[in-house]
Structure 1
Amino acid sequence: MEQAVLNQGAERFGRGSYSLQLLGGFDQNVFEYIGEDGLRFIIKFLDAAKYRKASIIRELTWMAYLAEHGLNIASSIRSAQDLLIEEVIHGSKRYYVIAFTKAPGSPLSDLTSDFAMIERWGRGMGSMHKLGKKDSTSASLVHRMAFPQWNDHLIFTDAFPEAAGERVHTQWRRYLKELESLPQDQDSYGIVHNDLHHNNFHVHNGEIVFFDFGDVSYHWFAYDIAIAIYHAVQTVPEHRKAEFVARFFDSFLSGYLKENTLSADWIERIPFFIDFRNLYSYVYFSKFVDWNEMDESTRNYLLAMKADIESGQSVVNLSI
């Protein structure tokens, strides 16, 4: 990203002298603003060719709605012009720039034994899902906004990436057929975070602070749970996965069910959604990342993913 873009965005939200530290993001577009006066916050640069302003407004509105209802959310920051979204133009490119308070605390450091915190994580997701239910009595602004449906993303609407291979494509079509047949009633389907893994919240003084709601959409609640499990399992070695996923699942679901109800039928579908997340992740990388730009370890990891997907191998053996 051009330095001129970074400078314009930082100057809209910051003050005085500063530096920007790259934190990451799929497009390498998330930075920490570090001011010489001690001011620190998170700033994101969104390419207008990929992101619509309306979707950003929905994201910020949903975050504010959750915060109003008691969840700890990294709050939005307004610019010097009192705007939540700034536009930066450089040459022929336009970027939307948004900023957030830096979530206090740090990532959950112990996924393998801090099951009390994993239960709180599940409880937070359960609260989100309860608020994300859309029923006949939902009259608030947030429930009148046109959040995207689960299959509105380019990965579903655009051509399947040839790089993924035909055998993966066969599995993709099979999973999509199953997903399209699932009911979308208010107790199973609603507004979800859609990426609430362990790197999208911090733990501070025993409480969880959630952030990064850029993928919020309508989806099945069971899929959102599956995302948390899928990414947590990737942090443990193969020989410990079975034991870990069982304890993680019990703790997470225990917290979740304290805030939101989910029927046994949908809970039993969670392993299916875990495997779909694995498939989705591989297809996403195949479509949006240049194979030649990956390091060797990433390529080897993806090749192993592909082999498991083609053979129909489940990510984990989760007995429910």
Structure 2
Amino acid sequence: MEQAVLDQGAGKFGKGAYSLKLLGGFEQSVFEYAGEDGSRFVLKFLDAAKYQKADIIRELTWMAHLAGHGLRIAESVTSREGLLIEEVAHEGQLFYVVAFTIAPGQPLTDLESDASVIERWGRGLGRMHALGKHDSAALLHQMGFAHWNSHPIYTDEFPDAAGEKVHARWKEYLKELSSLPQNPQGYGIVHNDLHHRNFYIHDGDIVFFDFGDVGYHWYAYDIAISIYHAVQTVPGPRKAEFASRFCDALLTGYLQEHTLSNDWIKRIPFFIDFRNVYSFVYFSKYVNWHELDGRTRNYLAGMKADIEAGTPVVHLPIS
């Protein structure tokens, strides 16, 4: 990202001398701001060619709604002009800039040892889903959150880099998804990306952040996302045993906050495998393969082979 863009964005929210440290994000657009006066917060730059301002407003409103009902969320930071969203332009390109407090705590690096942490993770996810049904969330529903298939990954041309066999699998999954009921019991507002890198552990509690993908989807898919990404941290021989324990702990916490019928729970393995295909298609569409290192290319080649062969991500004893 151009330094001129970073400087403009930082100037909108801070003052005096400062430094920016890249934190990451899929587009390498998330930075930590450290001011000479001791101020510290997270800056996120969003390309206006890809993001709508209305979507960002919905994201921030949803986060405030969750925080207002007891969930620990990385809070929004207002700019020097008192705005939650600022705009910066450079050489004909427009960016939206938002800022958040730095979430206290540390990332979860050990997903295997402490089932109580996984239960709290599940409770947080269940609480989010339950709050989407809360009477006070009616206005949020009226704000027009996007539905599951409105993302460009569904509406644009399928990326050639993914290959014809993956495309065939992709169409099978989309057909199955399109046939699923969208009733309030199984479908609603979800985080849509709640893996272990999108929250911190602080004093035994969980602080959630990165709600940029919030929208309508199936609750079972939101659960599957957490399981899918957790499984990726464990070597192959231990995956099945770990996945079973992880899923039990996550659902134990989840069901304390939100009811989900066994019919939907039984669909979690389907959603896990769909997440795998989605992830591969996403990489194929948005990543320049020539810029990837050999390890990543080998990993993606393995993903592709498993998808083409119809190999499940992991076997879960859900029935």
Is this a same-fold pair by TM over 0.5? yes
Give the whole-Å Cα distance in 2 for the aligned partners of 1:186 and 1:2: 44
User: Per-residue displacement from partner, 1:85-137 (whole Å, max 9, x unpaired)?
Assistant: 00001110000000000000011121011110000000000000011238xx6
Give the secondary-structure state (helix, strand or coil) at the position aligned to 2:216. Answer: strand
Distance of 1:105 and 1:38 partners within structure 2: 18
* Inter-partner Cα distance in structure 2 for 1:307 and 1:3: 40
State the 1:140 CA deviation: 3.5
Give the total of aligned pairs: 318
**Partner of residue 149, structure 2:** 151
Q: CA deviation at 1:16?
A: 1.4
- Which residue matches 1:270? 268
Say if 2:71 and 2:124, in contact at 8 Å, map to a contact too: yes
Q: CA offsets per residue over residues 245-292 of structure 1, 9 Å max, x none?
A: 011000000000000000000000000000000000000000111110
- Could you tell me the TM-score, scaled by structure 2's length? 0.98
CA contact (8 A) 2:67 2:73 kept: yes
Matches of residues 276-287 of structure 1 in structure 2 within 5 Å? Answer: 276-287=274-285
1:139 & 1:37 partners in 2: Cα distance? Answer: 38
Q: Deviation at 1:36?
A: 1.9
Residue of structure 2 in register with 1:177 after alignment: 175
1:116-135 maps to which residues of 2 (within 5 A)?
A: 116-133=116-133
Code of the aligned partner of 1:195 = D
**Considering only aligned residues, what root-mean-square deviation do their CA atoms show, in Å?**
0.9
Structure 1 position 302 matched with structure 2 position 300: yes
Gaps of 5+ in 1: none
Q: Any idea what SS the aligned residue of 2:98 has?
A: strand
- CA 1:184–1:2 in structure 2 vs 1: closer, same or farther (change >3 Å)? same
For residue 152 of structure 1, give the secondary structure of its aligned residue in structure 2: coil
Structure 1 match to 2:209: 211
Matched with 1:113 is 113
Deviations 1:162-214 (A, max 9, x none): 11111001100000000000001001000000000000000000000000000
Tell me how far 1:138 sits from its aligned partner: 6.1
Tell me if structure 1 keeps the 8 A contact 2:192–2:222: yes
**Alignment map for 1:233-252 (pairs within 5 Å):** 233-252=231-250
| Contact 1:20–1:33 under 8 Å retained in 2 | yes
The alignment partner of 1:191 has SS state of strand
Specify the alignment match of 1:34 in structure 2. 34
% of aligned pairs identical?
69
- Kept in 2, the 8 Å contact 1:133–1:189? The answer is no
> Where does structure 2 lack aligned partners over 5 or more consecutive residues?
none
CA contact (8 A) 2:131 2:137 kept: no
Counterpart in 2 of 1:89? 89
Q: Distance in 2 between matches of 1:293 and 1:132?
A: 40
Separation in 2, partners of 1:21, 1:155: 30
Give every structure 1 segment of 4 or more consecutive aligned residues whose post-TM-superposition deviation is greater than 6 Å. none
Aligned equivalent of 2:5: 5
SS, match of residue 6 in structure 2: helix
* 2:58 aligned partner: 58
1:112 alignment partner, SS class: coil
AA aligned opposite 1:17: A
Change (3 A) 1:265 1:130: same
Deviation at 1:139, TM superposition (A): 6.3
